[in-house]
Structure 1
């Protein structure tokens, strides 16, 4: 691995780290970027190498730890790892991980292309371990500001400003920044997360709080894979408790995992989607939303139905379904939570008292520019709908904001590009290919799009909201 690059220049604040690219967030997307940069650096001469680092608010690498259920499997092939689709010989591939863990033959005998979520998380941690010196863990970014050389000159550098829990500052100066801040929970307005109202991302971290108690009822809101997994887990873990699933559908819908439909996750599908007219983009998302959104693995659907049916035969229904319904209100009463469950058919309501309510209602993308200084955010172009204009190489199109200097520093984004790059934007399926494309753009090997023909008025970022993936 190439050595970290830190330098001091005249007029700079002493001790600022200078790099070609800094990544904000160090989840799977920017981890794949680290792998791609490192492999690029290993293939070129010293003068062509990229210097880089990442800033991550967690104290160590972690990816949806609260949903690492023991027997939950990935929904993508192990070949869609951090590197294989870009570089099949990579030392950061899942196969290399298996070899390093002395489990390659065992995995082959396992006979499935879908590892458990626990194992895939261990793989990601294993890969992240090679970049410990490149990541400022435990540092939360507070702002990204332009570095102004002289009035009217293009802004070619930005400073990423962060602070640690103990107040110690972190400041990195870079020519390019890659925003990969992830997704945040999508919770309805009527719900306030607290001691008895959870989001499923925190399931395993909150369960220990119930030690020494005997919960009588759980309510799980949502109809997707995470919701079904949460229902299954709670039903198995608490054999004396009722588990009530609440969702607007008539029943869980199966995920379309057929070979042809899965082509929507191919790297080439990103090109097709990017080049498609707006109405075609909308149709593609409508046609293939059932490959990822609010759908459940058929095997899990069958298992839950079988369990529910057997309970009806036995005369004790612990597993209950409130379908074609919605939660109209939720009130934390201190010793319990009361949900007003409203039928979408006739409007009738039923009040459920539960020890815990788990919202498995997915995630939503926040505006990725919320960390940027207003001058930087104002230079980022938006379309007529107010959405960011993102070029094919994942660089945000920029223009000269009113009264501001032009921006030549690169601002790239991973995750908030579904409107431009399609359904895989927040998923693992194309992280290997995407990271390679960003590296090619950073090094000039990929010629970027020209961007918007006419300047588009920039806007300051809205407050962040939040989002999730396949």
Structure 2
């Protein structure tokens, strides 16, 4: 029986492992991870791609700058600190940050079972001594874990437009599987690749494809007119401050909707200037050289998709003129983002792993899953005896853009979860409890 079971060992739960080691080392904790080893975004380790957050907003620094698990200390221990400080760029390469994440995962003294694909989270029978119901985590490999609480951090589900759901891999592949989807093609491949989307990832994929397959034809299909610059104003970037989490959390549902509409360009359907400029320059240079490798199809809706052994055909409708056309491609890369928790649009009401215990979770038909400020899922009337259940990294709808797959608040979110776990799972010592009662009585006597 563990104190805490943690599903997933990506950045969110790696940060939690560091917080547990530094704030509650006595806790009995087990992490269960489906991958065979720690890795972050392995399918998007593209040459020249960088991260989009300040490197000091890492797994621990905002909570404990003196920790040995900071990105700066990682650079120091690798002997690359001064070279990194001398780099002519604002953000670290994604490859280097992935190595930092892997280094922390391998350095922190966490008890991790790799290669275990969690298939279900259930509630076990009540403990005869305490009456509490432990949580049970089951894996496809046949293992079964019991815990007094669970922290679920499986990462967000890729969003696949419905028209692509029947297209097999690798004919259609989400960016989360990009490199495996093109691994079988050689450098001289001269087919057609369609890239769907207008995000940072879409441009990164296009730039990579032009380098990887110089003879290929790349067609970028997007629902807007063209690429938009990401809003990186320092005033807008304050959405990644802990104060904004409190402000957003306490807003009404209508207030949250208005904030999301206002702040969407800080993270969605937009890209940084460096990659936009690089793509524009590449297309311009291709024109000078008398070739056209990259074509943009803006303001297009994809109304139908057909596939066979020859490839994939997209039915496109121009949103302004209404003109219809078809696009034949050998493969399609979907830079279409990820699902969030919620009840509308691309959202999913529950993380798939929590569906078996949905009856003990509080779900609002309009707002979706009810999650506390400490990231604990609130219980329904039927779940009064359920153990504490936490969501780590999927709470953008309730907590704001800091939960939108960003590193910015990982460290502080981990502290909130650990503090909450300790309060709920650690009974006060009798002497401490008696002292608290005496103190409370003394305070009351002075009023």
Q: Do Structure 1 and Structure 2 share a fold, with TM-score over 0.5?
A: yes
Aligned residue in 2 for 1:25:
8
Q: Alignment length, in residue pairs?
A: 416
In structure 2, list runs of 5 or more residues that go unmatched. Answer: 341-347, 427-447
CA distance in 2, matches of 1:417, 1:441: 16
Aligned residue in 2 for 1:311:
286
Secondary structure of 2:281's counterpart equals helix
CA distance in 2, matches of 1:337, 1:150: 55
- Tell me if structure 2 keeps the 8 A contact 1:367–1:416: no
Which of residues 353, 359, 364 in structure 2 aligns to 1:371?
Answer: 353
Secondary structure of 2:143's counterpart equals strand
Does 2:397 correspond to 1:414? no
Change (3 A) 1:369 1:297: closer
Change (3 A) 1:231 1:311: same
Aligned residue in 2 for 1:281:
256
CA distance in 2, matches of 1:133, 1:187: 34
- Tell me if structure 2 keeps the 8 A contact 1:193–1:199: no
- Tell me if structure 1 keeps the 8 A contact 2:137–2:146: yes
Which of residues 165, 171, 175 in structure 1 aligns to 2:144?
Answer: 171
CA distance in 2, matches of 1:154, 1:267: 37
- Tell me if structure 1 keeps the 8 A contact 2:31–2:110: no
Q: How far has the Cα of 1:362 moved from its partner? A: 0.9
- TM-score relative to the length of structure 1: 0.84
CA distance in 1, matches of 2:132, 2:349: 22
Does 2:202 correspond to 1:227? yes
- Tell me if structure 1 keeps the 8 A contact 2:300–2:317: yes
Does 2:74 correspond to 1:97? yes
Which of residues 36, 39, 43 in structure 1 aligns to 2:19?
Answer: 36
Query: Relative to structure 2, which stretch is displaced further, 211-220 or 337-346?
Result: 211-220
- Tell me if structure 2 keeps the 8 A contact 1:147–1:155: no
CA distance in 2, matches of 1:153, 1:91: 39
- Tell me if structure 2 keeps the 8 A contact 1:74–1:115: yes
In structure 1, list runs of 5 or more residues that go unmatched. Answer: 1-17, 43-48, 448-470
Q: How far has the Cα of 1:115 moved from its partner? A: 0.5
CA distance in 2, matches of 1:219, 1:184: 22
- Tell me if structure 1 keeps the 8 A contact 2:188–2:213: no
- Tell me if structure 1 keeps the 8 A contact 2:123–2:135: yes
Aligned residue in 1 for 2:275:
300
Aligned residue in 1 for 2:51:
74
Secondary structure of 1:77's counterpart equals coil
Which of residues 238, 241, 253 in structure 1 aligns to 2:213?
Answer: 238
- Tell me if structure 2 keeps the 8 A contact 1:146–1:373: no
Does 2:124 correspond to 1:147? yes
Q: How far has the Cα of 1:36 moved from its partner? A: 0.3
Aligned residue in 2 for 1:433:
412
Does 2:34 correspond to 1:52? no
1:417-460 deviation digits (Å, cap 9, x = unpaired): 1221111113221100000110111112999xxxxxxxxxxxxx
Does 2:332 correspond to 1:357? yes
Q: How far has the Cα of 1:369 moved from its partner? A: 4.9
Change (3 A) 1:155 1:317: same
CA distance in 2, matches of 1:77, 1:268: 18
- Tell me if structure 2 keeps the 8 A contact 1:146–1:155: no
1:227-262 deviation digits (Å, cap 9, x = unpaired): 111111112222112211110111100001111111
CA distance in 2, matches of 1:312, 1:440: 58
| Runs of 4+ displaced beyond 6 Å | 150-153
Query: Relative to structure 2, which stretch is displaced further, 381-390 or 424-433?
Result: 381-390
CA distance in 1, matches of 2:334, 2:192: 15
Aligned residue in 1 for 2:440:
none
Secondary structure of 1:326's counterpart equals strand
Aligned residue in 2 for 1:465:
none
Which of residues 150, 159, 174 in structure 2 aligns to 1:186?
Answer: 159
1:141-162 deviation digits (Å, cap 9, x = unpaired): 1222223236998534212122
Q: How far has the Cα of 1:315 moved from its partner? A: 3.2
- Tell me if structure 2 keeps the 8 A contact 1:155–1:406: no
Change (3 A) 1:308 1:383: same
- Tell me if structure 2 keeps the 8 A contact 1:220–1:231: yes
Secondary structure of 1:444's counterpart equals helix
RMSD over equivalenced CA pairs, Å: 2.3
- Tell me if structure 1 keeps the 8 A contact 2:360–2:386: no
Secondary structure of 2:268's counterpart equals coil
CA distance in 2, matches of 1:355, 1:373: 36
Secondary structure of 1:230's counterpart equals helix
